[in-house]
Structure 1
Amino acid sequence: MVDDLMWLAAEHLGEDVERLERDSTTIGRGRAAAGLIAGGLEPGEVGAAVARTGARIVHAHNLLPGLGWRALAAGRAAGARVVLHLHNYRLVCAVGTCVDPGGADCTRCHGRDTLPGVRLGCRGSAAEAVAYGAALALWQRRTVAQADVIVVPSTAARDRLAGLGAPAAVRGAVVLGHVVRRHAERSSAAAGTGAVVVSRLAPEKGVEVAIDACRAAGLPLTICGDGPMRPELEARAAGGDVTFTGRIGDEELARVRAHARVALVPSRAAETFGLAALEAMAAGLPVAASRAGALAELEGDVELVAPGDVSGLADAARRLAADPGAGARALAAAGRRAAPEVVAPRLAEVYAAAGRGRAG
């Protein structure tokens, strides 16, 4: 998503864009923990980058564990405005998804009370859970206070963050949907066969619902993605017409979608956007999805069913597969919602608002 936003700002807004990135997998567990508790590591690097480039905007994503609020403060001190882009729920939720270790929707943590996540061990190890819980409680308000504009990908994400007790400024966040770069020239879904799911294979994604629904609907299913549930899902799919591709590149994924008839997004979680649905629509595939989180905002352009509803998803998949015009309608809807020429002016307004000064 950061790559796509950089591309959009450069190609459609004519901006000079530079990335400054910290990879948590390379800084080590000790330094990651130190960054969490301290509110960021080496914030001067951000200030120096602003001074060197003359950047007027610091557009921040996924700050933990290496950057933190201090990186935003350093950017402001160097003369830049700050756009804080909240792609997930990590202001309050240590894992960012509002999903507990068992895969269920979870809103136990609230505001600065992050102890439920520590008790549940949501980050895996006790030490990591404590570090994240403490950092969120310590720096949640300080992080938001650095932002001139706060951005969320959907109204559903903003509402959930408010319900989680995030700082009050989040309630005034600007909704900016994700851009989808590639849109098919025409839909080939009417000539396709079977269904496709593109997802991380984790409990909250509900992939087992798609397997059971396609078996009930008599549709072959291709599952693209990898994750901890793959062995369990492969066992569940045994004997059925289900293909697991693993994680594949963009070109191979485009080929899979070009030969499919319908896409399924069976998530059980409160998705903040539903990018898998929009990307499938942009490929010309009609979509059946769970009415969960931001996916519900696609009402009218996708078939929506209750999360976990196997028979409902099977019926929706059958209807879409039997409708020769469904793919063309999905492609047109993707253009209205996520085409570069639609999202670029909205991004430009976010930057203009940041330039005018602190929102609210």
Structure 2
Amino acid sequence: MHILRVANFVSPTSGGIKTALRHWGQLYQQAGHRASLIIPGPGPEISEEEQGLVYRVPARPVPGTGYSLMWSRVGLARLMDAIAPDALEVSDRSTTRWMGRWARRRGIGSVMISHENMTGIMVRRTPVPERPSHWAADVINRLSAHDYDAIVCPSRFAAEEFHRNGLAAEVVPLGVDVDVFTPVRELTDGPVPGQDGPIRLAHCSRLSREKNPALSIETVRELVRRGHEVELTVFGAGPMLDELVARARNLPVTFHSYITDRRELAAELGRADLAISPGPLETFGLAALEILACGIPVVCCDEGALHEVVGDGGVVKPSTPAAFADGVEELLRRRHARARARAAAERFSWPVSAGRMLDVHAAVAAGRAGPRD
């Protein structure tokens, strides 16, 4: 099977989607399939990579986001016709929804991966009141389900907005490379963090409003107010960087330059005692999972899918500085916290994730080979 993947919201500094695309593509090919990928430029127009043939096409920058989007339906359709895949996998329900109809006209199966929660986006990023936002999200989700043969979500939280409308959505969790993201210190209990130096905190995410990175800064402010000696290192890039630097003035916060090498990032994360993952709209939380794999317990918010990933590897708290500071103090007292964090991460595997994605493609192909209405 030749699987063409298309994703619009991918940039040189993006995280989860780009990581998932890379691992799935590599594992599809290892399973004997062909994998191709279309993403926005810049970069070489066509490159042969471990994840398959990658096409980078002209895209228009979206101000203030760090993303560029592919808009030309005519150009994209011509490229997709030339690639001539057997199956289509699209990681975007909005700007590329028309691709499901493209696949149907050509008699090939189509899968849409819902990496975002449309309801949360409508409520938090638009001025539309909450109830109309739910209605609008429901309309968009019904259109997506109509246009594609299958919908895949990375968590139960992400799938719920389809299930509440009686729409089918497969849950396929992402994975983590436990050989790359691995503890750099012993997992056994040692001195309580903060006894022999500052409590070392880490925040790792894209610095954009939907990730709520300001909560990590304000949690540090609250911990300092309570008399704790702490240091926070922020890993990530994004449109809020300057605003966050200003907010963190006079606080023990360091903003680390963007790290492209995964092993280097894992080594840096592994030096932390605890991590803060405040994103309220996460439909999975790959960054939090990678931190857990390094043996770092995580304080996460009680919204979104993070609690599904963190499990016993951390604590779940409301999205306030006081509650997150409480979570930090709770983890400081927890026995075997590092070992429990690593064990929580080991529940997730990229080979299992890719295998389940291939099962979805196989089921779609089998359905298309059978009787049609």
TM-score normalised over the length of structure 1 = 0.74
CA contact 1:47–1:77 (8 Å) conserved in 2:
no
1:5 aligns with 2:24: yes
Partner residue in 2 for 1:221: 232
Among 273, 276, 281, the residue aligned to 1:270: 281
Partner residue in 2 for 1:153: 154
Q: 3-state SS of the aligned residue for 1:231?
A: helix
Deviates more, 1:213-222 or 1:253-262: 213-222
CA distance in structure 2 between the partners assigned to 1:34 and 1:335 by the alignment: 36
Partner residue in 2 for 1:88: 116
- Give the length in aligned residue pairs: 315
CA contact 2:312–2:340 (8 Å) conserved in 1:
no
Q: 3-state SS of the aligned residue for 1:220?
A: strand
CA distance in structure 2 between the partners assigned to 1:28 and 1:260 by the alignment: 38
5+ long unaligned stretches in structure 2: 1-16, 43-56, 62-67, 194-198
Among 109, 128, 133, the residue aligned to 2:133: 109
1:302 aligns with 2:319: no
Among 77, 83, 89, the residue aligned to 1:49: 83
1:60 aligns with 2:90: yes
- Displacement of 1:88 in angstroms is 1.4
- Displacement of 1:203 in angstroms is 3.1
CA contact 1:8–1:344 (8 Å) conserved in 2:
yes
For residues 166-185 of structure 1, the aligned pairs below 5 Å read 168=165, 171-183=167-179, 184-185=181-182
CA distance in structure 1 between the partners assigned to 2:58 and 2:129 by the alignment: 30
CA contact 1:181–1:339 (8 Å) conserved in 2:
yes
CA distance in structure 2 between the partners assigned to 1:6 and 1:329 by the alignment: 30
Residues 42 and 141 from structure 1, CA distance in 2 versus in 1: closer, same or farther, beyond 3 angstroms?
A: farther
CA distance in structure 2 between the partners assigned to 1:264 and 1:73 by the alignment: 41
CA distance in structure 2 between the partners assigned to 1:302 and 1:151 by the alignment: 27
CA contact 2:122–2:133 (8 Å) conserved in 1:
no
Q: 3-state SS of the aligned residue for 1:62?
A: coil
Instruction: Tell me the amino acid that sits aligned with residue 349 of structure 1.
Output: D
CA contact 1:89–1:98 (8 Å) conserved in 2:
no
Greater helix proportion: 1
CA distance in structure 1 between the partners assigned to 2:32 and 2:334 by the alignment: 41
Partner residue in 1 for 2:327: 316
CA contact 1:198–1:223 (8 Å) conserved in 2:
yes
For the aligned residues, what is the CA RMSD?
Answer: 3.6
CA contact 2:301–2:319 (8 Å) conserved in 1:
yes
Q: 3-state SS of the aligned residue for 2:276?
A: strand
Provide, for residues 211-245 of structure 1, a one-character-per-residue CA deviation record: whole Å limited to 9, x for no partner: 23234143211011223332332233222221111
Residues 316 and 140 from structure 1, CA distance in 2 versus in 1: closer, same or farther, beyond 3 angstroms?
A: closer
Greater strand proportion: 2
CA contact 1:99–1:105 (8 Å) conserved in 2:
no
Partner residue in 2 for 1:286: 297
CA distance in structure 1 between the partners assigned to 2:312 and 2:129 by the alignment: 25
Instruction: Tell me the amino acid that sits aligned with residue 75 of structure 1.
Output: A
Q: Percent identity?
A: 26
CA distance in structure 2 between the partners assigned to 1:211 and 1:18 by the alignment: 40
Among 174, 197, 207, the residue aligned to 1:201: 207
Partner residue in 1 for 2:145: 144
CA contact 1:290–1:306 (8 Å) conserved in 2:
yes
Deviates more, 1:39-48 or 1:297-306: 39-48
CA distance in structure 2 between the partners assigned to 1:4 and 1:106 by the alignment: 36
CA distance in structure 2 between the partners assigned to 1:105 and 1:162 by the alignment: 22
CA distance in structure 2 between the partners assigned to 1:35 and 1:107 by the alignment: 30
Partner residue in 2 for 1:133: none
CA distance in structure 2 between the partners assigned to 1:61 and 1:303 by the alignment: 30
CA distance in structure 2 between the partners assigned to 1:41 and 1:64 by the alignment: 18
CA distance in structure 2 between the partners assigned to 1:97 and 1:153 by the alignment: 19
CA contact 1:154–1:177 (8 Å) conserved in 2:
yes
Provide, for residues 279-321 of structure 1, a one-character-per-residue CA deviation record: whole Å limited to 9, x for no partner: 111222111100111113244332000112x222112223324
CA distance in structure 2 between the partners assigned to 1:17 and 1:33 by the alignment: 21
CA distance in structure 2 between the partners assigned to 1:107 and 1:276 by the alignment: 31
CA distance in structure 2 between the partners assigned to 1:8 and 1:33 by the alignment: 26
